[in-house]
Amino acid sequence: MPRERASAENEREPHESLYSAAALDLGLVVMLESFEFVFSTSAAHFFAKVGWSAWLRPVLGGSEIIAAVLFLVPSTATIGGYLLLVIFGLAALLHILHGQYGVEGLLVYAVAVFVSTAHTENRTAQDRL
């Protein structure tokens, strides 16, 4: 029985590595995009154009950066994933409420975070067994 378990664990390693690499890439891309959003002059101009307060952009971007960092740390990846999903949902809602319907990028990020978070939860549940 121990050999079968070790064999099954070895078979999952490439699969686990693929998910880990994808989650790392996703977390880093989200974090970099968030930094660009916070420090971007075009985002600042957009916020001024629609009449949003100047403090809103750093708050939204900063919370996204914090959630992305949590998503990158294995022990907090699940909570970071859920926070990112909430943030992406709020961002999509803000865009739609202001007549900007091109939220496909946020949807792609949200689906990728959802899949990664579901995989992390499944892996954590299997480790407990």
pLDDT tens, 26-37? Answer: 999 999 999 999
84-102 per-position pLDDT tens digit: 999 999 999 988 998 889 9
The arithmetic mean of pLDDT across residues 98-108, rounded, is 92
Measured CA distances, 76 to 49, 65, 81 (Å): 37, 14, 9
Of 88, 112, 79, 73, nearest to 34 by C-alpha is 88
- Please tell me the total count of domains within the chain: 1
Q: Domain limits at 109?
A: 2-128
Residue 53 confidence (pLDDT): 87
| pTM of the predicted protein model | 0.79
115-129 per-position pLDDT tens digit: 999 887 766 666 655
Residue 14 confidence (pLDDT): 59
